[in-house]
Amino acid sequence: RWTRLDGTLTPGGEVPARPASATLRQWQKAQAKAGRRLERVVAVDWPFEGRVIAQLETALGPDDRLFVGSSMPIRDLEWFSHPAGPGPEVLCNRGANGIDGTVSTALGASLDGKRTVLLCGDLTFLHDSNALLSAYGHRGDLTVVVINNQGGGIFNHLAVAKSSRFEQLWGTPQATDLGKLCAAHKVRHDLADDWSDLRRLLEVRGKGVRVIEFRTDREADAAWRQKSFR
């Protein structure tokens, strides 16, 4: 026998509902307010990285798996993922910052046949791009969503972004053609030009590895977050 924190009855209804305390009501009110604000932040029609999380919530169910890369993706999941019901299994490598072996780990996790989606940034993907050697004949179902903002987007949120040598030392921009890189490994690559494209491509599933590239602007992304959370 138990009573939920929100004061609703137990499954059998034997125990009367316990009225929510004043503290609990304050937390519930604050949570609802924060949720509404976060919904407004992601309700944009341009390629805001936080909205990718909302797209994944729609695309993935409790029978699926979401593997989350380090840096901004894992932080965006914490900020913007608040599913109303059961969501996918969520996995990540240990630590919030290291990007070593992310693609390799996701490949291994998907070998059990469960539909797996890896969300990662471009530097994380490139850092472990040799993992695509294992894509040939892969028996699992793995979709890799690469948020390509041409560099280390997380650093645009720090004070060092104002440095005159920021791009060279922190932003570390890259100009790799991800389509050609995937083609070299005979891995399917699709460029999602807009939100409808991304939704459609996330519906593709089956044995093998496929890469969805979604391009964003890290400077615009950082500016929107700073404006929205003042």
Q: For 208-213, what is the mean pLDDT?
A: 98
Map residue 118 onto helix, strand or coil: strand
pLDDT at 57 over 70: yes
For the cut 50, the answer to whether the pLDDT of residue 113 exceeds it is yes
Give yes or no for residue 5 having a pLDDT over 80. Answer: no
Maximum distance among all alpha carbons in the chain?
67
> For all residues of the chain together, what is the average pLDDT?
89
CA 190 to chain centre: 18
DSSP string across 170-207: II------HHHHHHHTT-EEEEE-SHHHHHHHHT--SS
User: Token pair of 21, please?
Assistant: 């305390």
What's this model's pTM, rounded to 2 decimal places?
Answer: 0.85
Q: For residue 3, is pLDDT > 50? A: no
Ordered DSSP codes for 70-107:
TTHHHHHHHHH---SS---EEEE-SSSS--TTHHHHHH
